[in-house]
Structure 1
């Protein structure tokens, strides 16, 4: 068979850059369908590594951001229990203990100078400069995510970005991906409701999104989720609110945060955790490692563990906000990974993209450097300007082990956590998908005006899509809730009749200017 004929027959077959056919583009390879993931996920690592390097120099995602310095103060407890029952992490142990932090808020999909009124998740990343080194808690304002497997992350972001031909944001691309990824419907329900446009950064929730683990001094573990609750209250915008603000100020959230701190009105958040025993929980109708799901608060209550205060603005945006680098793998003793497939994929991707974006020695920059002694055997790399050596270290020894005065391994402070992993390596989705149930529960929890806003926003964008995508979205809504599906179906039918439409997701709107943009918004109950 000649070369041209081979290309014709295989032109629609997905391959790697090496020309290898991709037979499963939905799941990373894991031990059993719940994980953990394995390092030899070559297709995934090649895919995510290239994705991390697609843009220069701004972040691939979370490019538009604002930041501030402050501190975290521990309560020393998790609810009524001493926190040491669950974790030996020093940052939580002592009541009143303060740890310096730097926080970066952001939008996810859009570029560095995009309006802060766009419908988009918001990033909420916290760097704790602890006595055991840095801990990064990297999350969003919404407590769930669109996908549950890291293999799909590049595809998801591609679908949400502008068309590669027209460079125009297109709602059809967004809903084409989401309607063919049923697990995304819960997140779509939040994003198209008022929760998709927080009024500002000070008045939005934060979440670690992924499932982590806590480990105590005896090496015992529990599953944990993190939640930040703003003491300023929660406020979201309708699309009309956002349109009015955007007409006069596309930096409103950054300005609001900066001005509040400059005036001494320091924003605060309380940190809560949900704790679950470290097992599969067959009694639940979802997998607790699935980041498209909420853990029911009545079964797994929110336990307060501390508060965060932001009291200092950056002195230089580029040095502190733009060059700040976070990673989900940046954990300290007493904090650990779960087998959450998105978490394991993010753990590689985040640090990898920082090395590409900022440089191999990005951790030597002051905003990223630990506030404790650092001693490594690392050498070279672009822009290296510090020598990570101990003053007592033999400068000729940059390896370990050594009998000539090199660095030595640290002593284990608690019993090592040693989970038992057993299973076949497979490429499978988790078994308890239950893609639409919680979307229905979320819809029913909304106030009437929030439901109205959700349906109006969905109809506006879904009405621009091909019929097959509209049908898929209606099917998902009907599976979630009868009223949800009926109202979406009726709204789309009416849009066809009156010929109304709306600009695609993310495009700018211009209407009359508000008198004071930051006063716009609607108070919301925590979820």
Structure 2
């Protein structure tokens, strides 16, 4: 019997896939046509809810190879020896747009990497920028609301965007990057990636350091002219997705070199910027880049939905040797990401092939929708127990760190939101500054309230007087005297 016969989902052969069962030639369709009912019911459910953020994305498989011995800093097994290769999967994405939105819009790009290590999966869930707009997760829903559609007009709302940013001066650094040339990468292959947050590495002796991840593209950084980006958005909205797929398909495998910055734990108390504030960077003069390894993408997905759409990432997907920091934004993401996956894909999302660890999984989690493995079989289903069920391994406990103070809602101690943004502006060439200002002016012109424009101009001016003055001039306004 042929192996390619059409069957129902329960494996029964389908006799007719072209005609419904009806009561006579012109009669109504019969409910007994279970194949028809199954096809229609499944079709109605073929779209899981799209991601609230990072809905539009592209992904690829590859490997990570260690090129430098950093075992004195971390006991993570996938980094344990030079030359070691770990399979991985990456998903690139835009942040604000819907699933069908254009690739070439001005937006940060998500840069989410899943390493399939022998100790379970490890996810680095970052962006193509080293900083973010906000530094406390409690502000995230409000921020994303401003990037989405107005509930009345169902249109993007520049007034909401700039109103929020003008009330949140910590966003200035990221806004300056977003509005610069790097706000629209030429392709997904021609941009850097960052873990953005501060993480903790721990070695075999339990000694820790703070780290930041930098994925440097080996293809070089290239960006799109705003007019060409707009043209592509209309003519080929899937330009970045297509470029990545075609490059890998023809054997032009994109690669990134992974570096880390390493900070001694005690430096966190004295560094001139709070090292856990994700709106700030660490100077590479203070903490130079140290090479870790090389990531190569060499295989396209066979099925977009199964591998890209159902892929789930969380900064809380950690392995021994890597721990979290007190970064307030990171702390919120530890919950929010996995919770989003439980809602969108299901409680058993980590059992799907694209997310399933390559090592054996042993726990006491049971049941839930779409439980498609053995569900623990008949083994013991609680812990502690007297039946040799899986037990914790104390050597893999998270290392302690000291905390003090009272429990209350508090902001970061450091509130210099202007120095690093100003430094970035001053690093740019004259032509880069002109394009930055032109991009900002074009984006701010539709803002309805002049007070919002003036408030934001004040932030630019505090970063660099020329920066604020040129934006003000472009908008036909003057820098407020209160900020001069």
Deviation at 1:494, TM superposition (A): 7.6
Verify the 8 A CA contact 2:48 2:345 in the aligned structure 1. no
Q: Residue in 2 aligned with 1:163?
A: 150
Structure showing greater relative contact order (alpha-carbon pairs closer than 8 Å, 6 or more residues apart): 1
Q: Residue in 1 aligned with 2:289?
A: 302
Deviation at 1:238, TM superposition (A): 2.5
After the TM superposition, which residues 385-424 of structure 1 pair with which residues of structure 2 at under 5 Å, given as runs? 385-387=372-374, 389=376, 395-410=378-393, 412=395, 417-424=399-406
C-alpha offsets along residues 282-329 of structure 1, whole Å, 9 cap, x if unaligned?
543320000000110111111110000000000000000000000010
Q: Residue in 2 aligned with 1:455?
A: 437
Is residue 234 of structure 2 the alignment partner of residue 247 of structure 1?
A: yes
Q: Residue in 1 aligned with 2:343?
A: 356
Instruction: Give unmatched runs, 5+ long, in structure 2.
Output: 1-46, 479-484
**Structure-2-length-normalised TM-score:** 0.87
Q: Residue in 2 aligned with 1:256?
A: 243
C-alpha offsets along residues 347-402 of structure 1, whole Å, 9 cap, x if unaligned?
10000000000001111100000001111111110000112549xxxx34111122
Is residue 326 of structure 2 the alignment partner of residue 339 of structure 1?
A: yes
Deviation at 1:422, TM superposition (A): 1.9
Verify the 8 A CA contact 2:367 2:375 in the aligned structure 1. no
Q: Residue in 1 aligned with 2:124?
A: 137
C-alpha offsets along residues 33-58 of structure 1, whole Å, 9 cap, x if unaligned?
xxxxxxxxxxxxxxxxxxxxxx9600
**Structure-1-length-normalised TM-score:** 0.80
Partner secondary structure for residue 126 of structure 1: strand
Return the match for 1:61 from 53, 58, 77. 53
Deviation at 1:153, TM superposition (A): 0.1
Distance 1:61 1:107 in 2: 8
Distance 1:300 1:388, change over 3 A: farther
Q: Which structure's CA Rg is the greater one? A: 2
Partner secondary structure for residue 440 of structure 2: helix
Return the match for 2:418 from 412, 417, 436. 436
Following TM superposition, the consecutive aligned residue runs of length 4 or more in structure 1 with deviations greater than 4 angstroms are none
After the TM superposition, which residues 204-219 of structure 1 pair with which residues of structure 2 at under 5 Å, given as runs? 204-219=191-206
Distance 1:405 1:113 in 2: 50
Partner secondary structure for residue 209 of structure 2: strand
Distance 2:345 2:400 in 1: 34
Distance 1:233 1:397 in 2: 53
Deviation at 1:280, TM superposition (A): 5.6
Distance 1:407 1:255 in 2: 45
Deviation at 1:246, TM superposition (A): 2.1
Distance 1:187 1:297, change over 3 A: same
Is residue 463 of structure 2 the alignment partner of residue 480 of structure 1?
A: yes
Distance 1:315 1:427 in 2: 47
Distance 2:77 2:417 in 1: 38
Q: Residue in 1 aligned with 2:353?
A: 366
Q: Residue in 1 aligned with 2:473?
A: 490
Distance 1:492 1:436, change over 3 A: same
Partner secondary structure for residue 304 of structure 1: strand
RMSD: 1.6
Q: Residue in 1 aligned with 2:10?
A: none
C-alpha offsets along residues 265-285 of structure 1, whole Å, 9 cap, x if unaligned?
000000000011113645433
Partner secondary structure for residue 118 of structure 1: coil
Q: Residue in 2 aligned with 1:91?
A: 78
Instruction: Give unmatched runs, 5+ long, in structure 1.
Output: 1-54, 78-82, 496-527
Q: Residue in 2 aligned with 1:103?
A: 90
